[in-house]
Structure 1
Amino acid sequence: MNTHIKTTVVMKTVNQIRFAALMAVAATLFGGCEKESDNVVDNAPVAARIMSGIDAMATCAANTAWAVGDAIGISTTSQGNTKYTNVKYSAAVNGDFTPAGKMQRDTIFFQDKADVSFAAYYPYNGANGTAPGTDGILSKTITADEQTPEGQAKFDYLFATATGSSASPNVKFQFRHCMSRLVLNFLPGNGIASLSELAYTISALALEGTFDTGTGKAKMTATGTGSLNLSVPYSADGMSSTLIVFPQQANSADIKIAMGGVDYAGTIDFPENSANNNVREFAPGHSYTYNITVNDTELTIKLADIKDWEGGDNPIDGGAFLN
């Protein structure tokens, strides 16, 4: 009787040991599978999916959305191995951004699990793997011929930053304008029934400057000022001219207008910036509207509006994907 009891106890103990061993093996296998699923990047790099676009506003001065072929340059920094310089991505027909090249180095991949900082600029300049310009800084001299929607798109500099990782590969850029914009509205005044086609010269503007593609800073260079000679065709719906210039500080610019054989002259005062110790300046990412009234003997010039340039200090939101 006692022998039977001992045998039963021993058998139960052996079975318990076997069961515990099986559970331990199963737990090890499950843990290994779980670890493997958490480390996809260990087996293959994860491609960055970058959102970038314009919602209901212009990419550049032309007041259109991203056009097919519009290209941005993207660079990355990281404590890990995900490091790229000036990788070119271009807008496709559907508005998405895709790698401009076909080589593996033309696509940004997360190489590990470290967080990655992204910086992007528009329009693209240079070559993949090399910082554009001189150490990432572009130099530019603005001319009158470029003050058209198509020409302005070449120096309507945009900039954005974002972060991402292999765990969060969707990277969203929100671009902002880095230059300053002037909108000149020409209006008929005393003794002028209506305007006709006119030409104007605006002088004492800083037309030379630089754009840092790594920081988004656009600034004038201290090499003097220049003039822009432009014309404004007659339009019954209103006559205006839009200029893009480098951010700059000065008291005023001069303007001369020729219309109907008569010459007029006036001064465009720079506004005081209360956010910068009341310095008179055209600030980056801001749009300034001036109403220029042509009277029979003189010009009347008034600053009508100052506002963020649709994404100046307030970022331009976007929804196009860069795959």
Structure 2
Amino acid sequence: MAANNSVTGDDLWYIHVRFTILQVLLVFFISTNLLLIITFFKKEYFYTTARYILFAITLLSDSFLLFLSNIQLILLHFRFPIQVWLCIIISVVVILYLTVTPVTLTVMTLERYVAICMPLRHGELCSTRSTMHCILIIHGLSSVPCILILSTIFVSASLSFYKQYQICLVEFIFVDAWQHNFRAGIYQVQFLIMCIIVIFCYVKIMKVAKAASGEDKKSTKKGLRTVLLHCFQLLLCLIQMWCPLIESSLLQINVSLYVIVRYINFILFYLAPRCLSPLIYGLRDEVFFHAMKHYASFGFSVLVFELCVHSSQTSSSRNLEID
């Protein structure tokens, strides 16, 4: 992170080490996401299936978020100021895609609920057309916090403020303390709504899992494990929504402590949730895993992939395949 004039040589060394570690991690995760995105667009089976379409949305939003967050990180590390209006644009996009991922994960949990608890209506409710409409709704809902947060800046800042040069951090854009509290309040409302939806889906799927038998029980339990992973991933994303409140409070107390906590939060609540998406669908999902291996190995595993797709389509026709 950024250094100030009073840091010692050892402190400066640790700052550069932390920055280098973050760059390596970011390059790794963004590269992995790009491989998964390429895999998604290569096969019609993926971009015509609801759960894979939603998975691709999380990959794209995570990639945008990591890329733009890294731009802010680089500017902060080298203490390179930019005009406030440009910083606001970058920050608004970051806030948007910060919200898109947890909203999409909530929708993916609902999709699993429909697949397990209402299998006969799954094809109707989770068609490709319905999923495309759902993507618009996801971005519409995710833009509400952006609009509300952006409006607090417009009502409290003068026109000259947007022409000033400063380090690009959302905390520095907010003029008054109430704006930090307002942003935290919005995130807490989101946290509550998403938790209610996820808990509802989990309880309903649990009831179906207890009532199922034989092959149905095995498939339902697999779906239940997937929902649990979604819950854990969503929990990390939702905890991330509390981070701005903690960080803005620390910024007023101790800048050095703020930098350390922000670094830890970035690792735990920015990067960690975004490495779970490749785990859930890139490794656990047999069809996607073999497709990814097929393209990563330049086509040597094509036969295994085609067999997996055929098996998945056959199982889906019997309403037994739960991701």
Q: TM-score, normalised by structure 2?
A: 0.23
Higher helix share: 2
Q: TM-score, normalised by structure 1?
A: 0.23
**Structure of higher RCO (CA pairs closer than 8 Å, 6+ residues apart):** 2
Quick check: which has more Rg, 1 or 2?
1
